[in-house]
């Protein structure tokens, strides 16, 4: 009887130890956090086509990207900066990503050209950069312009002047660590846009985009297509094309994650 009691105690101890050991969080259990940022929202419509607002079409695609990630990868946590037509403040968006200590930040937008350029179409993915040449500067101006909607923007954004030498130096120190991975992800997404979604690939570009500048992790800003191109505007409103675009972004993220795991 004594022996049985001793055995019982030993076994209980072993079981309790094993159970508690299993509940200790391991490195493997850590979720890969992806912040999905549908551009604009609420009072900020973004750019527009003849009948489409950027904020609406990017929200639809963003929700689909999140759903693909949640349904098809079990160790990923999706964090949205907005899930409805609410105002999405770039400063808050960056803070959401930083506070969550996210592994990736993916901002989703749609593009536009000035009148007379309706033929321009295709997808682009931006990473943070300080060289703003030609069209990239136009995109930076437009995507950053939401900042001007803020009453206190001068105070809130006073540090952001990508043309200043100090910012260039700070950028090279702070962002260098993320830049290489941001470019890998951006290339993955552009490849998938072309192969998976059959979209025109305008390539990976660099631009001084406020939201990318303020996120402390690999970050990209995706332009799904041009709302000023009538054919592309129609396509961007199609549920099927939205699915393909979302699937392409999902695959780009999935391949990036695989790449990270292969280099561990
Ligand atoms: Zn935008």
Rounded distance from Cα 46 to ligand 1 centre (Å): 5
At 82, is the pLDDT very low, low, confident or very high (cuts 50, 70, 90)?
very high
What is the rounded average pLDDT of the residues 230-258? 98
The predicted pLDDT at position 129 comes to: 75
The predicted pLDDT at position 81 comes to: 94
pTM recorded for the entire structure: 0.80
Rounded distance from Cα 8 to ligand 1 centre (Å): 65
Alpha carbons 255 and 14: distance in angstroms, whole number = 41
Rounded distance from Cα 165 to ligand 1 centre (Å): 27
Q: What is the pLDDT of residues 37-73, one digit of tens each?
A: 999 999 999 999 999 999 999 999 999 999 999 999 9
Rounded distance from Cα 56 to ligand 1 centre (Å): 11
CATH of domain 29-262: 3.40.630.40
Residue 29 reports pLDDT greater than 60: yes
262: which residues sit within 8 A by CB, 6+ positions away?
none
Rounded distance from Cα 261 to ligand 1 centre (Å): 31
At 145, is the pLDDT very low, low, confident or very high (cuts 50, 70, 90)?
low
Place of tokens 């900042």: 147
Rounded distance from Cα 84 to ligand 1 centre (Å): 16
At 188, is the pLDDT very low, low, confident or very high (cuts 50, 70, 90)?
very high
Rounded distance from Cα 4 to ligand 1 centre (Å): 71
The predicted pLDDT at position 165 comes to: 60
63 alpha-carbon distance from chain centroid: 12
Q: Looking at per-residue confidence, does 103 or 209 come out higher?
A: 103
Starting at the edge strand that comes first in sequence, how are the strands of the sheet with 104-111 ordered?
76-80, 32-38, 104-111, 219-226, 123-128, 201-207
219 alpha-carbon distance from chain centroid: 6
Q: Where are the domains of the chain?
A: 29-262
For 236, what's the count of Cα atoms within 13 Å in the CB-facing half-sphere? 32
């Amino acid at each position: 009887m004594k022996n049985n009691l001793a055995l019982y105690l030993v076994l209980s101890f072993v079981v309790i130890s094993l159970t508690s050991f299993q509940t200790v969080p391991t490195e493997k259990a850590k979720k890969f956090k992806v912040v999905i940022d549908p551009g604009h929202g609420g009072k900020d419509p973004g750019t527009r086509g003849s009948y489409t607002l950027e904020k609406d079409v990017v929200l639809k695609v963003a929700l689909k990207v999140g759903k693909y990630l949640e349904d098809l990868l079990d160790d990923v946590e999706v964090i949205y900066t907005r899930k409805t037509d609410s105002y999405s403040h770039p400063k808050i968006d960056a803070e959401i990503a930083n506070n969550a200590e996210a592994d990736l930040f993916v901002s989703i937008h749609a593009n536009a050209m000035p009148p007379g350029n309706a033929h321009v179409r295709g997808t682009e993915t931006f990473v943070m950069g300080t060289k703003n040449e030609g069209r990239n500067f136009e995109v930076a101006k437009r995507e950053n312009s939401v900042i001007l909607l803020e009453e206190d923007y001068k105070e809130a954004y006073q540090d952001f002047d990508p043309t200043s030498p100090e910012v260039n130096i700070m950028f090279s120190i702070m962002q260098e660590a993320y830049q290489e991975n941001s470019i890998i992800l951006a290339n993955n997404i552009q490849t998938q846009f072309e192969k998976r979604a059959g979209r025109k690939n305008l390539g990976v570009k660099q631009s001084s985009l406020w939201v990318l500048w303020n996120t402390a992790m690999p970050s990209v800003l995706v332009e799904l297509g041009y709302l000023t191109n009538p054919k592309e505007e129609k396509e961007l409103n199609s549920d099927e094309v939205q699915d393909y675009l979302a699937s392409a972004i999902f695959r780009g993220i999935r391949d990036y994650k695989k790449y990270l795991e292969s280099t561990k």
